[in-house]
Amino acid sequence: MIVAAAQAPEMQELAKSKGAKGINLAGICCTANEILMRHGVPLAGNFLQQELALVTGAVDAMVVDVQCIMESLPDIAQCYHTKIITTSPKAKMKGATHIEFDEYNAMEGAKAIVKAAIENYPNRGSNVRIPKEQQDLIAGFSHESINYLLGGLFRASYRPLNDNIINGRIRGVAGVVGCNNPRVTHDEVHVAMIKELIKNDVLVIQTGCSAMAAAKAGLMVPEAAKLYAGEGLAEVCETVGLPPVIHMGSCVDNSRILMAATAMVKDGGLGDDISDLPVAGAAPEWMSEKAISIGQYFVSSGVYTVFGVTWPTAGSKEVTDYLFKDMEELYGGMWDFEPDPVKAAQMMIAHIDKKRAALGIDKARERVLYDMEMRRELDRV
């Protein structure tokens, strides 16, 4: 609704009356991925950059909701002119302005927020420093759009993906998701893992702050396939026009990844269950309890899932053995833990190779160019 309110003519005119050229919206963290996917609003950064955005001195209002919000924001905002505006009755903060979101009067609340930002614009100080670095990405992928890109309007299907996994050009698929964690260098773990995966012909699909890390590293444009991907994955990406790393939304959009996995099973040739697929998941910089619940969702659906940085049950051998070993017998998926991103990627690749062997697609197949007589023989059969 704030996106819509910012485009309203009266809001644009009010901004110009205060000396601004217009209204600039940018997103951080989960909401950023949502409005990027649906409205093309650019990203300003992921979780650990929310304080840094304020330090630019160029933010007139930062609007927050309920998750992944640092309570330090109002304290930092006091050093600048920025207004911190909370919108949820469950997540008010001392020092912030509260403009509650009411779904029955959503536009009125959104306009009040945009107006507060505009009226604060003249209070900007002279110490404004906006970084020049920018990076393009292609976003907006969902299960439906991938289906269309692979098969077109009349033959929308995951068959091209399955076929290229079966013939070995694509080794498998990995979902790399999750937060930033201040215990490791910002974004470094995500990027290292992803580069190791795509180098070994593993197609990577992403959500959340992890997706932003890959985007900043230039991995979400088609050109990245030539620079970073293995020969087989690069060939498929170039043919289809996809990046080797695919942005599928915010961290609450992980169900899209499982929908894609389900579609792979339905199209056939890769087993009868998600647990049969040559796929793996990871949250290499997780820090939030929601990451654990999302990870359990994937494990219970049959996906081998690796977490990094720390592991919460390390003090209990019984619980850890249950999660890392016994759970696979129950659900087909299991947990694993490895803080080194390259080693974790290699563990995911080893799991993918194990599943390929179980499916009998681990051997290279000779490519045969069928002549007309060979085609007629197929028709006769």
Q: What is the pLDDT of residues 147-190, one digit of tens each?
A: 888 877 777 788 888 999 999 999 999 999 999 999 999 999 99
| 118 and 239, same domain (yes or no) | no
Q: Which helix H or strand E contains 181, and what residues bound it?
A: none
Other beta carbons within 10 angstroms of residue 197's beta carbon come to 33
User: At CA 228, angle to CA 225 and CA 229, rounded to 5?
Assistant: 60
Residue 137 placed within a domain: no
Please check whether residue 150 lies inside any domain of the structure. yes
Task: Note whether 103 and 222 are same-domain residues.
Answer: no
One domain for residues 339 and 241? yes
What gap in Å lies between CA 73 and CA 21, rounded to an integer?
Answer: 27
For residue 150, give every residue at least 6 positions away whose Cβ sits within 8 Å of its Cβ, in sequence order, or none.
156, 157, 158, 159, 160, 161, 240
3-state secondary structure of 116: helix
Whether 118 and 207 share a structural domain: no
Query: Hey, what amino acid is at 377?
Result: E
Domain co-membership, 176 together with 207? yes
- N- to C-terminal Cα separation, the chain: 59
Give the structural domain span for 60.
2-123
pLDDT at 366: 64
- Whether 110 contacts 118, CB under 8 Å: no
327 CB-near residues (< 8 Å, 6+ apart): 299, 333, 334, 335
- Looking at the fold, whether 185 and 99 belong to one and the same domain comes out as no
pLDDT by residue, tens only, the chain of 381 residues: 999 999 999 999 999 999 999 999 999 988 899 899 889 999 999 999 999 999 999 999 999 988 889 999 999 999 999 999 999 999 999 999 999 999 999 999 999 999 999 999 999 988 899 999 999 999 988 888 888 888 777 777 888 889 999 999 999 999 999 999 999 999 999 999 999 999 999 999 999 999 999 999 999 999 999 999 999 999 999 988 899 999 998 888 888 999 999 999 998 899 999 999 999 999 999 998 888 999 999 999 999 999 999 999 989 999 999 999 999 999 999 999 999 999 999 999 999 999 999 999 887 666 666 677 877 776 665
Span 25-41, pLDDT tens digits: 999 988 899 899 889 99
Three-point CA angle 126, 131, 134, nearest 5°: 145
Sequential DSSP letters for 53-110 = HHHTS--SEEEE-SSS--TTHHHHHTTSSPEEEE--TT---TT-EE----GGGHHHHH
Q: Are 345 and 189 in contact (CB under 8 A)?
A: no
- The answer to the question of residue 244 being in a domain is yes
In a domain, 129, yes or no: no
Does residue 47 belong to any structural domain of this protein?
A: yes
Contact 177, 251 (CB under 8 A): yes
pLDDT of amino acid 68: 86
CA atoms of 273 and 295, how far apart (whole Å): 18
Are 300 and 272 in a shared domain? yes
Of 116, 233, 220, 218, nearest in space to 165 by CA: 233
Whether residues 161 and 50 share a domain: the answer is: no
Tell me how many domains the chain contains: 2
Could you tell me how many residues make up the chain? 381
Please give the Cα distance from 15 to 21 (Å, whole number): 7
370 domain residue, yes or no: no
Question: What pLDDT is attached to residue 289?
Answer: 87
Distance CA 10, CA 380 (A): 70
Is 349 inside any structural domain?
A: yes
* 171: nearest Cα among 109, 113, 120, 235: 235
Rounded to an integer, what distance in angstroms lies between the CA atom of residue 44 and that of residue 47? 10
Looking at the fold, whether 104 and 190 belong to one and the same domain comes out as no
Q: Are residues 214 and 80 in the same domain?
A: no
Evaluate whether residue 318 is within a structural domain: yes
Pure H helices in the chain: 2-6, 9-17, 29-39, 50-55, 73-77, 106-120, 143-151, 159-166, 188-199, 208-216, 224-228, 231-240, 255-267, 289-300, 317-321, 327-331, 341-359, 372-380
pTM of the model: 0.89
Q: Would you list the DSSP string of 291-341?
A: HHHHHHHHHHTT-EEEE-S--TTTT-HHHHHIIIIIHHHHHS--EEE-SSH
Which of 258, 308, 261, 246 is CA-nearest to residue 33? 246
147 plus 53 within the same structural domain = no
**CATH code for the domain in which residue 322 is found:** 3.40.50.2030
